[in-house]
Amino acid sequence: MVEIRWHSRAGQGAVSGAKGLGDVVATTGKEVQAFALYGSAKRGAALRAYNRIDDERILNHAKFMYPDFVLVIDPALAMSDNITMNDKESTKYIVTTHLSKEELINNIPALQGKEDRVYVADCIQISLDTIGRSMPNAPMLGAFVKISGMFELDYFLENMKRVLQKFPQKIIDANMEAITRAYNEVN
């Protein structure tokens, strides 16, 4: 079982990101779960979204998890939210930030001592450059594909095109570019 927790603000696409990831993962024959936990769902409010991935049908419906991956798609939430909550010694962090990994860890005491499993990508800037607005969910998926090693990039892109098929070609292309850039830039 792989468990993933997204930290996001309402409107940044964590719920769509979690569902999109679930959709792609399911095509590999795995069983998936994607859900979110939000309060009154006002745009900008902090929220958490979750994925579970397993070979067998997922029966656990609890929100509680010890995440294998923590994906932070809002730079400020990395500082203000409890992103290391219920973590394990193997939990990997991918954080959206314009800071270098060292600068980020210097600012977040909870990440200190976890340097070898903290990764950064500037998903906000990547989405501004490619999609034209702040939509960090798609780049985060690219970063996750790289760090998790769960898929080949091409396989993920092909399946993501199907998930996005209701959108105009221009938007699909921009998302593909965003995913690819983050895949290449995450470190």
- Write out the residues near another protein by the rule CB under 8 A: 18-19, 22-23, 26-27, 31-36, 57-64
Q: Least Å distance between CB 15 and another protein? A: 9
- Between 40 and 90, CB nearer to another protein: 40
d(CA 51, CA 15): 10
115 phi/psi in degrees, rounded to 5: -55, -35
- Between 98 and 162, CB nearer to another protein: 162
Q: Least Å distance between CB 35 and another protein? A: 4
- Between 82 and 107, CB nearer to another protein: 82
Q: Least Å distance between CB 103 and another protein? A: 35
Q: Least Å distance between CB 59 and another protein? A: 4
